[in-house]
A and B are shown apart, each in its own frame.
Chain A
Amino acid sequence: MSAHPTSLVRMKGVTLQFDAKVVLNGVDLSLEPQEALVIMGLSGCGKSTLLSILLGLLVPNSGTVYFQDKDLMNLSRRELNEVRKHIGMVYQNAALLSSLSIGENVGLPLRELTNKTASEIHSVISEKLELVGLLDAKEKLPSELSGGMQKRAGLARALALNPELVLFDEPSTGLDPINSGLIHDLIIKLREEHHVTSIIVTHEMESAFLLATRMAFLDGGKIILEGKPDDFRDSAIPVIQEFLSSYTKHEPKKE
């Protein structure tokens, strides 16, 4: 595992355990700017936990986590909050504030963390909602939107501060193919047009191959394979083969 000095994210020997259960057992990971790293693994293998560590919401028992060469484990609360401004997170359940409208949700980080005027905030809200195709839903409450729309609203909120890194936790899980495709298109658009670096956690192989520039497979608390999507297709590791076989069974045949 090479930890390049220009890496946006570097994790080394990250170990986390809750009581007797070891969730992560020496995870090494790095991410270069403008990459889309897909982390896969079985349900409950610690993929989302890894994102929480990266966001500073969980503190590992051992190991180091660097974001832009800042050691997250040794930052003060204020410094950590400063780092968090550069990381956007799209949660599995969207985690929008249910008492705020979609526009207010997107404007929340701008209102709380920047010195922008109300009109500037409104224009950013409109811009981000337009990007995810939800401009019409600005005044609606999260409960009035479908699951896919909520995830897109969550993405708009994650992008409000123009972060260098966006973390996606199961972005298309549980969505119908149309909404799933919309989310995939947005993630690809962000990488190609806005040069956003992303880490995508998923257990859906279809999403993974579509979105990844690099992939990592988490199993038993460790990254058991990391490489290009083609490396995964050629992998002989049984658990990855099982994953692949479930995908290829349903993969549309190309003429």
Chain B
Amino acid sequence: MRDDHSLKQRGPEESPGIAFIGRVGSLTLSVLQEIGGLVWMLKETGAEIIDRFHQKRAPLRLEDFSFQCNRAGVESIPMIILLSVFLGLTMALLTGYQLRIFGIVTLVPAVVSVSFTREMGPLFTGIVLASRVGAAYTAELGSMTAGGEVNAIEGMGIGALRYLVTPRLLAIFCLTPCLSVIAVISGICGAAFISSLLLQISYGYFYDQVMTNLLVKDMLSGIVKSLFFGFIIGSLSCYKGLSMRGGAVGVGNATTASVVASICAVIACDSVCNVFLITFFP
């Protein structure tokens, strides 16, 4: 009898299968809750924007939008340029040394420009913005939530989601493609520089090859992906900030979670977009 009882008590702990299923279930539940919360935030923000239109009032002030554009976009440009130049430089160098073995080093401009335009530029921009801007959004909104500022805005009847989320989300959504284009140009410039220096490819030849091989389709796919990335980073970081719990530690945890979730979501979205684009627009 005693043995039966102790078995019953220890049973679930001793069964790794059940424990694993329990963990998977719990994880799935928390992911679904997060997705539900995110969708709810976007729905409510949209509804508050529509309410403003009904009241014949602008959903956001141009000054707030410009301020957020400056923070998210303009202030990110130096970092994006610097890192993209180095990334383009490295890509050209490594590709060139591999292609040199086969005697086709002249393909470097085509390979680098196409891969940077379609893939590396937008993805790299997304990751940089998730770390730089997404983290800032989460920390800022998290601090406001912890300090009762978000409740105060809501209590005044201003509509906290519209007031806080709209300018941030719109700014990053609009500016990610712009930053992505800057990243692509910078990366290609870096590649051209190192190709000229170490691979004996002239700037003129590099330029001609880029113009010949780069298609509008490649540029559009990069821009469309960037729009998705901007939306994902903006909405996830705002949601994480507004849903944080528990003071300074909570803000730190929310910021970490926001960056991790944004980078994962951006990479996952990139893969889905690539599959879609390759399948339907080969």
A, B in one complex: yes
In the complex, A235 has a CB within 8 A of chain B: no
* Nearest CB on A from B33, distance (A): 16
- CB-based contact B152/A89 at 8 Å: yes
The answer to whether B155 and A89 have CB atoms under 8 Å apart is yes
Given contacts A78-B51, A78-B54, A81-B51, contact A109 B151 (CB under 8 A): no
Which residues from chain A contact B157 at a C-beta distance below 8 Å?
80-85, 109, 113
Closest chain-B Cβ to A75's Cβ sits at a distance in Å of: 11
For B143, give the chain A residue with the smallest CB separation.
A98
Q: Is the CB of A97 within 8 A of B155?
A: no
Contacts A77-B48, A112-B163 given: A84-B155 contact, CB under 8 Å? yes
Bin chain B's interface residue count: 20 to 34
Looking at the complex, which one of B143, B144, B152, B159 makes contact with A81 (CB distance below 8 Å)? Answer: B159
Could you tell me the distance between the alpha carbons of A83 and B144 in the complex, rounded to whole angstroms? 24
Residues in A neighbouring B48, C-beta threshold 8 A? 77
Tell me, in angstroms, the Cα distance from A52 to B159 when the chains sit together: 15
- Nearest-neighbor residue (CB-CB) of A55 within chain B: B155
B contact residues around A89 at 8 Å (CB): 152, 155-156
Q: Which of B146-203 contact A (CB under 8 A)?
A: 147-149, 151-159, 163
Q: Mark A29-61, 1 if CB is under 8 A from B, else 0.
A: 000000000000000000000001001110000
What is the minimal beta-carbon distance from B55 to any residue of chain A, in angstroms? Answer: 7
Tell me the complex Cα distance, A96–B47, Å.
Answer: 26
Cβ contacts A198-228/B at 8 Å (1 or 0 each): 0000000000000000000000000000000
Please, which residues of chain A bring their CB within 8 A of the CB of B147? 93, 95, 98
In the assembled complex, which residues on chain A have CB atoms less than 8 Å from the CB atom of B55?
Answer: 78
A80 CA / B157 CA spacing, docked (Å): 7
CB distance from A81 to the nearest CB of B (A): 4
Contact with B along A85-111 (1 / 0, CB 8 A): 101010101011110000000001101
Which of A81, A87, A93, A111 is most buried by chain B, counting CB atoms within 10 A of its CB?
A: A81
- C-alpha spacing A87/B149, complex, angstroms: 17
Bound: A95/B47 CA distance, A: 25
In the assembled complex, which residues on chain A have CB atoms less than 8 Å from the CB atom of B155? 55-57, 84, 87, 89
Minimum CB–CB distance from A243 to chain B (whole Å) comes to 27
Distance in angstroms from A193 CB to nearest chain B CB is: 24
Q: Which residues of B contact A85 (CB under 8 A)?
A: 156-157
Residues on B with beta carbons closer than 8 Å to the beta carbon of A98: 143-144, 147, 149
CA distance A97 to B155 in the complex (A): 13
- Complex contacts, A87 vs chain B, CB 8 Å: 155
Known contacts A78-B55, A95-B147; is A112 also within 8 Å of B158 by CB?
yes
CA of A55 to CA of B152, assembled, Å:
10
Q: Are B154 and A57 in contact (CB under 8 A)?
A: yes
Q: Verify B158–A109 contact, CB threshold 8 A.
A: yes
Q: Which of B54, B143, B149, B156 contacts A84 (CB 8 A)?
A: B156
Complexed CA–CA distance, A93 and B151 (Å): 12
When distances are taken between beta carbons in the complex, the residues of chain B under 8 Å from A108 are: 153, 156, 158
- Output the least CB separation between A41 and chain B (Å): 20
Residues of B within 8 A of A57 (CB): 151, 154-155
Contact with A along B96-108 (1 / 0, CB 8 A): 0000000000000
A248 and B143 CA atoms in complex are apart in Å by 40
Chain A residues whose C-beta falls within 8 Å of the C-beta of B54 in the assembled complex? 78
Chain A residues with Cβ under 8 A from B61's Cβ? 111
Q: How far is the CB of A142 from chain B (nearest CB, A)?
A: 10
Within 8 A of B (CB), among A106-141: 108-109, 111-113
B144: which A residues are within 8 A, CB to CB?
Answer: 97-98
A108 and B120 alpha carbons, distance in the complex (Å): 42
Pick from B47, B143, B148, B159: contact of A91, CB under 8 Å: B148
Interface string of B55-87 (1 = CB under 8 A from A): 100000100000000000000000000000000
**A96 to B147 alpha-carbon distance, docked (Å):** 9
CB nearest neighbor in B for A80: B157
Evaluate contact between B151 and A95: CB separation under 8 angstroms.
Answer: yes
**B contact residues around A78 at 8 Å (CB):** 51, 54-55
- Nearest CB in chain A: distance from B102 CB, A: 57
The smallest beta-carbon distance between B3 and chain A, in angstroms, is 35
Q: In the assembly, what is the distance between CA of A81 and CA of B48, in Å?
A: 10
> A: which residues have CB within 8 A of B?
52, 55-57, 77-78, 80-85, 87, 89, 91, 93, 95-98, 108-109, 111-113
User: 14 new A-B pairs (CB below 8 Å) besides A55-B155, A91-B152, A96-B152?
Assistant: A52-B151, A57-B154, A77-B47, A77-B48, A77-B159, A78-B54, A78-B55, A84-B156, A91-B148, A91-B151, A95-B149, A97-B153, A98-B143, A113-B157
Task: List, sorted by A's number, 15 A–B pairs whose CB atoms are closer than 8 Å.
Answer: A52-B151, A56-B155, A57-B151, A78-B51, A81-B157, A83-B157, A85-B156, A89-B155, A91-B151, A91-B152, A95-B147, A95-B148, A98-B144, A98-B147, A108-B156
Closest 5 CB pairs of A and B: A84-B157, A81-B157, A95-B152, A95-B148, A112-B158
